[in-house]
Amino acid sequence: MNAAQPGIFAQGARHHYHLEFDLRPDAPADAVAAALAGLREPAVTVGGGNIVVGFGPELWPRLAPGDGPDRLQPFLPVEGAGRRAPATQHDAWVWLHGIGPDLQLDMARGIVRCMAGVADLATDQPCFVYRDSRDLTGFVDGTENPPVQDAVDVALIPDGQPGARGSYAMTMRWVHRLDAFHGLADPEQERVFGRSKELSIELDDKPDTAHISRVVIEEDGEELQIFRRSTPFGNVGEAGLYFVAFSADPTRFNKMLSRMFGLADGVSDRLLDFSTPMSGSFYFVPSLESLGRVVD
């Protein structure tokens, strides 16, 4: 049985780092594979921590023809209710998480060095866990995330299917208007998400525009599930959430986005009044075996 990249599920690291790369059009597949092999070198891994590698819909079939998922598509812009989620599809995504910002930075620099000959850096985003796993709005992010023992089924493509034990991932960089959000009284903030702020308890009377009213979707009596691993980023000037989620079925992402942007029923997510997506990409995160076949 193939094994998933363990960093998808590893918990506890408070320091995260996201890199996205655009492949140079003239980079041959074997040079890309050699660059990726460098990610396993001690000079890169010396910081310890987890490395998760994902591939965009153009790159993966070039590196591993015939060894892939059958539903990997580029991220397309989502537009509705006067709001827009732009598509900024890149070719590769590397997510690091570990015990310190210094070590994650060393690893990130090492990875950028490995990739320098074949790809340009498009995203360079350190992130962190804020307080007790809260978004910078102050709301707990992850309350209804599946627990790790269930997350495997939610996130991984099942055995016997193309890309087995790999996962579809979506990344989106959201920039918040924190002053505007924090200018609302607490009960109004709670209505934006549909949960209480302190204890993250679901509101009985949450509005249809609440974030969780939008993203909870039932099909055939079953709730569509994704496994979220988002972390905040920022400084005093610009701050937000680097949204990351994994799924065995990529259509769940599109269904949730279309309800957030009101495409399904004309009702949009109140969260869009306070946060704007600046990027959006889909990636395939292959199993260790599939990744090994590319880099060995």
**Residue ranges that bind ligand HEM, judged by CB under 6 A:** 135, 139-145, 172, 174, 193, 195, 200, 211-212, 215-216, 226, 241, 243, 253, 256-257, 271, 275
What dihedral angle (degrees, nearest 10) is formed by the CA atoms of 232, 222, 80, 213? Answer: -70
Least distance to ligand HEM, CB of residue 85, Å = 8
Least distance to ligand HEM, CB of residue 46, Å = 33
Helix (H, G, I), strand (E, B) or coil at 198: coil
What dihedral angle (degrees, nearest 10) is formed by the CA atoms of 184, 186, 187, 189? Answer: 60
Give backbone dihedrals phi and psi of 137, rounded to 5 degrees, phi first.
Answer: -65, -20
Least distance to ligand HEM, CB of residue 100, Å = 25
Q: Which is nearer to ligand HEM, 50 or 231 (CB)?
A: 231
Least distance to ligand HEM, CB of residue 255, Å = 8
| Residue-wise DSSP of 58-104 | THHHHHSTT-S-S-------EEETTEEE-----SEEEEEEES-HHHH
Q: Which is nearer to ligand HEM, 38 or 142 (CB)?
A: 142
CA-CA distances (angstroms) from residue 133 to 14, 142, 233?
A: 9, 7, 13
Residue 291: in which H helix or E strand, if any? Answer: helix 288-295
Q: Which is nearer to ligand HEM, 108 or 210 (CB)?
A: 210
**DSSP code, position 197:** T
Q: Per the residue annotation, which of 106, 132, 135, 141 is the catalytic one?
A: 141
Q: Which is nearer to ligand HEM, 36 or 229 (CB)?
A: 229
Q: Which is nearer to ligand HEM, 189 or 287 (CB)?
A: 189
Q: Sign (positive/negative) of CA torsion 257, 263, 269, 273?
A: positive
For residue 285, the number of C-alpha atoms closer than 13 Å in the C-beta half-sphere is: 31
**DSSP code, position 216:** -
Let me know if 179 is a catalytic residue.
Answer: no
Least distance to ligand HEM, CB of residue 200, Å = 6
Residues involved in catalysis = 141
